[in-house]
Structure formats: structure tokens, C-alpha cells
Chains A and B, each alone.
Chain A
């Protein structure tokens, strides 16, 4: 069973707007990562945030982590049509493999 749940399941915005995706998980984690997947294939690593970090930035991406609420958010600012993809959070729970969430499908309308 999946340990992570993402919200919303689908999101449609206009180019230039910000997109926020949330991830909730159930067990304690060592770190949390976000991946992007285009067209159902080829996951690409975006950013990693460790359990002792609260916020991290990478370009137009901002990730927050609240371990007390067991939740994380991914913010994409000034979205572009090329950001259209599915976004997955995944948790390092010490299980020797990552546990992935169910994903958010983001559609950025040009």
C-alpha cells in the first residue's frame, strides 16, 4: 500500500500562475523527495528535503516540510506549459527503497 497521498489529484492552471501540490504521509521519514514524470514515463528528480529542514528552494521550486503534520508542499512559481506533468512525492522511510505517493497531474494551459 502507498504511504503517501497527494492533493489535489489533478490541477489545471494558466501559464504564469503558481501551482501548489501537497503531500501527506503516514510514517516517520529521513527525507522527502519530489519527482516529475512526463507522459507516464521517465521520472526526473526535482528536489530533496531532509527531515531536519523546513523549506528548500531550487529555481522556481519551493518545497516545505512539516514533520509534525507529516506533510510537504511543492510550489512551482510562474508556471510554464513545459511544467505540465505528474508530480510525485516520495519518502525515505528507512525501508531501503523509496515509497511514492499517488501523484498530482498538473496541466498548465498556455
Chain B
């Protein structure tokens, strides 16, 4: 079956513009995660969706960042009024039930803010 997919693979935008990043998790996976990885750095947790529970937004760096998960499947990460420090690879992952399960990662979206 298909793995986690993300789109676009690359996004270049101008400072101040809004961007939307999409994640299609593995079909049937209940949990979905967004991470951010700056150049040469480790992964920074952003947000976690698990079933119908309220998402854990504790990793979102500012109120310019938001995410939705529609119908328990596809998720969209939105960054408003982008800043240069938002430039990073944004990785999405999904797991079968919750955070105790193995996470399967998508290829990421490389965001460059000029």
C-alpha cells in the first residue's frame, strides 16, 4: 500500500505570504504528526492528531502556525505571514493508533522563504 505522501515537495515563497502544506497519511492510520527540521538539525515536534481527540498543539512555534485534519485523514499545515526563519523541511508522519506505535514518515516539504 501507499506510504505517507506530502505535497508540494518544494515550496518557495516570499516573506509575508501564507503557505499550505498537505499530508496524506497511510490509510487507516489514526494518528498524524507534523515535525519541522531546520538545516542540519534534528526534528522539532509541531502538532499531533489522534483520532477524534483534540490535537496536541504544544509544539507550534507561534500563532502563525495552524493545522487541520479533515475527516480523520488528510491534514493541512498552514503558515501565515511566513518569515525567513520558517524555512525548513516540514515532515509529516502517521501511525496506526497513537504515539506508542512506529511512525511512518513522508518525504517532507522543503519550504524556502525568501
* Majority secondary structure of chain A interface residues (helix, strand, loop or mixed): strand
Query: B residues within 8 A CB of A30?
Result: 100
Task: Bin chain A's interface residue count.
Answer: 20 to 34
- Distance in Å from the Cβ of B53 to the closest Cβ of chain A? 9
Do B102 and A102 touch across chains, with their CB atoms under 8 A apart? no
Do B43 and A88 touch across chains, with their CB atoms under 8 A apart? yes
Query: B residues within 8 A CB of A96?
Result: 48, 50, 56, 98-99
- Distance in Å from the Cβ of A94 to the closest Cβ of chain B? 9
Chain A interface residues toward B at CB < 8 A: 2, 4, 30-31, 33, 35, 40-45, 48, 88, 90, 92, 95-103
* Majority secondary structure of chain B interface residues (helix, strand, loop or mixed): strand
Whether A45 contacts B48 in the complex (CB less than 8 A), given A40-B37, A97-B56, A103-B42, comes out as no
> How far does the alpha carbon of A95 sit from the alpha carbon of B45 in the complex, in Å?
11
Whether A92 contacts B107 in the complex (CB less than 8 A), given A97-B48, A98-B45, A99-B45, comes out as no
> How far does the alpha carbon of A90 sit from the alpha carbon of B35 in the complex, in Å?
13
Query: A residues within 8 A CB of B104?
Result: 45
Asked if B108 lies at the interface with its beta carbon under 8 angstroms from chain A, I say: yes
Do A43 and B48 touch across chains, with their CB atoms under 8 A apart? no
- Distance in Å from the Cβ of B15 to the closest Cβ of chain A? 23
